[in-house]
Amino acid sequence: MRYIFLIIAIAFLSPAWAQKSLSLQDAISIALENNYDIQLSKQKVKSAEIRNNWGTVGAYPSFSLMFASNNDINDVDPEDYTRNQLMGDAKIRWTIFDGFSIRSNKHRLNELENLSKGNLAVLIENTVQSVILAYNNVLLQSEKLNVLKQSMELSEDRFKRAETQKELGAAVTYEVLQAKNAYLADKASFLLQEVTYKNAKRNLKFLLGNSTKEIVEVNGKLDVVASTYQLKNLLEKMHMDNSNLKNQYLNIALLQRDVAIAKSDYYPTLSLSAGASNNHMKFNYDKKADVTNDSWQYYGNLTLSYTLFNGGNRKRAVQLAKLEEESGNITLDQVKHSLDNQLLNLYDFHSARKALLEVATENLAAAELNLQISSEKLKSGAINSFNYRDVQLIYVNAAQRKLEAVYNLIDSQTSLLRITGGIIQEYQK
């Protein structure tokens, strides 16, 4: 659990919201500090730490003190008097042995504390993953916006050139309208992409927990270094470090403790009670001498109790606890199977997305060269505007597919880090 506290410590050193541009590390730190679910989970961890005490399960003796004063007046002759009675009592109660229930309950509190920390770890990992994807989505939409802006500017330039050629008599109205339609279509796509880009920034801002109207800006370029993984190593790491799987093991340990607690009812209980009390009473008579009575009482008792039969409730309690433990083991197998299946899918996705990125990169390089050559041919009249428009659309689509391929690979690599329990360590590098 050491990395949880390290990441929380980093969060408190995060930059203020006043900065205009955020790096990915800044964004993660701020999100970890402001995330509502993480804050609530931290409170649960503190509560579990407070409850995890031997006193909670009754291992320590209890002490009590009592003091009372009773006063009354008797005004009936001939026994007129006033009475003052002072009483004090001190008691100690201690359960010496209760069939190992105290120890089992203490171990259960240990596991509940670890489980609360495990749930916090899961929330931290989920938050880090969400911020990574949201941050890169902002970069993705920003670069898509740049591609569409470039395409719109090219279409605008072609439209203006067509208008100029028409004025010179070198182009007809039909060609001008075609260029205008292409320009307006690209402008519409650009405007819609602006909305998508703003929404991506707004979603990131929400994850960071900033409720002000301040605009969140990110820096950097959408890029990825394709990692190579071995499936066997990923499976081993997942079985060892996956946070959800760790929490399931903790749940199994809790269910085992419940069985031990249910079995403790078959043992006798030995308890100690001891104390001392004092009773001081004084009568003040009007017509005779005062009378004082002072008495002390001490006691110490050991009580051994054992339930011989309670309608079979103990047996049923143990049976039910064992059934819950068996159900927990079945759930553990289900979680393992599900995680194995998820990892296999993610591994295949990652391999495919690496290949798709290579294809998209080559496709974009060819589309860029084709667009450059086509621009020169259009100016020289070697091709018409229809051919050029086709090449332009091919370039736009290729550029967007390349960007999406980069983002998809980031997504798959982040998911692999998350499922194998390495996302926090990767962030700390």
Q: What is the pLDDT of residues 219-239, one digit of tens each?
A: 788 999 888 999 999 999 999
pTM, 2 dp? 0.80
Contact 269, 98 (CB under 8 A): yes
Query: Which regions in the chain score pLDDT beneath 70?
Result: 1-20, 76-79, 170-172, 210-215, 287, 427-429
Contact 208, 34 (CB under 8 A): yes
* Gap between the terminal Cα atoms of the chain: 17
Give every CB contact of residue 151 below 8 A, 6+ residues apart in sequence.
186, 189, 190, 392, 395, 396
Distance from C-alpha of 239 to C-alpha of 141, rounded to nearest angstrom: 36
- The CA–CA distances, whole Å, from 412 to 128, 143, 175, 421 equal 14, 20, 45, 14
Within 13 A of 147's CA, how many CA atoms are on the CB side? 25
Give the chain's domains with CATH numbers. 2-34+100-267+311-428 (1.20.1600.10)
What is the per-residue pLDDT for 358? 94
Contact 270, 97 (CB under 8 A): yes
Within 13 A of 193's CA, how many CA atoms are on the CB side? 23
What is the per-residue pLDDT for 8? 40
134 closest CA partner among 32, 204, 29: 204
List the beta bridge partners of residue 217: 21
